[in-house]
Structure 1
Amino acid sequence: MRILVNSSDIIIAFAIVGGFDGDIEISDEGLPSNFVETFKPGYYLYRDGEIKVNTSYKEESETMVIDNPPQDIDSLRIMVATLQKQSVQSNLKIVSLENKFKELEEKLNKEVGANE
C-alpha cells in the first residue's frame, strides 16, 4: 500500500494499486487492522514510521458546495482519496454479494438435485 502525507504528517490519501508523486510505501503489517474501512483524509497520521489516529481530527461535513470549487492541490487530493475509499468499499460489498450469491446457488442446486 502507498500513502500520501502532507507537510503536517497527516495521511491525505492511500492507494492499494498505483501510487502518487511523493508517496510512501507501507507494508500491510504496519497498518491498523481497520485502516481501509475507517480511512478518512486527515484521520490518520504517519510519524516515525507508524500510522496513528490523529487525535485532533474533526469530522468534516459530507456535503460539498459545488459552486465553490477547491483551489489547492491538497483539496483535490482529499477528493480523490474520498472517491478511492468509496470505490474500495463498493468493491468489498460486490465481493461479499458475489460470495453470498454463489452460496445460495450451490444450496439451490443441492435441493434441486435432492428432489429429482
Structure 2
Amino acid sequence: MKLLVNSKNEIMAYAYTGDFPDSLEFDSHNLPSNFDAFFKPKFYVLASGKIELNQNYTERETETTVVPSQAQQALAALTKQIMELQLENEQQKKINTSLTKEIMDIKLKGVSE
C-alpha cells in the first residue's frame, strides 16, 4: 500500500492500489486494527516504520458538504432539460427561417420566368 505523509510524518492519505507523488510504500499487513474505519488526515503518524495514533491530533471543524435534496436534484435536471429544449428550439427557428427564405426565392424565380 502507499502512504502520503506530510513533513511531520502525519498520514494525509493512503491507497491500496495506485500511487501518490512522493508516497511511501507500507506493508498493509502491519496496519493498526480499524485503520480504515477511523482514518482521517493527520489522525495517524508514521513513526519508526509503524503507524501510530497521532498524540497531537485535534479535531478541527470540518467543512460541511451540502448534498442537494431529491427535489433540488429534480429541479436542476428539469432546468437543464428546459435549457436544452430552448437551445434546440432556437436552432429549429433558424432552420425554419432558412427554409422559408429558400421557398420564397423559389416562388419568386417561378413568377419571374
Q: TM-score range by the shorter chain?
A: 0.5 to 0.7
**Other-structure match for 2:24:** 24
Q: CA deviation at 1:28?
A: 1.8
Amino acid at match of 2:50: E
Provide the rounded CA distance (Å) in 2 between the counterparts of 1:64 and 1:7. Answer: 27
Quick one: distance in 1 between partners of 2:13 and 2:56?
A: 18
Which is greater in Rg?
2
Structure 2: unaligned runs, 5 residues or longer: 66-113
Give, in whole Å, the separation in 1 of the partners of 2:39 and 2:51.
11
Kindly report the root-mean-square deviation, in angstroms, between the aligned alpha carbons of the 2 structures: 1.6
What TM-score do the two structures reach when normalised by structure 2? Answer: 0.53
CA distance in 1, matches of 2:63, 2:23: 28
**Counterpart residue type for residue 48 of structure 1:** S
Distance 2:22 2:63 in 1: 29
Task: Extract unaligned runs of 5+ from structure 1.
Answer: 66-116
3-state secondary structure, aligned to 1:14: strand
Please name the residue that 2:4 is paired with. 4
Structure-to-structure mapping, 1:1-116, within 5 angstroms? 1-63=1-63
3-state SS of 1:12 partner: strand
**Offset, 1:43:** 0.2
Whole-angstrom CA distance in 1 between matches of 2:3 and 2:40: 12
Equivalent AA in structure 2 for residue 26 of structure 1: F
Query: What TM-score, normalized by structure 1, do the two folds share?
Result: 0.52
Tell me the distance in 2 between the aligned counterparts of 1:28 and 1:17: 11
CA distance in 1, matches of 2:8, 2:36: 21
**Residue type of the alignment partner of 2:41:** P
Q: Which whole-Å deviations, capped at 9, do the CAs of 1:8-64 have from their partners, x for residues lacking one?
A: 111111112101011111112210111111000000000110100001101121225
Same amino acid, percent of matched pairs:
38
User: Matched residues in 1 for 2:26 and 2:63: separation?
Assistant: 31
Alignment: residue pair count: 65
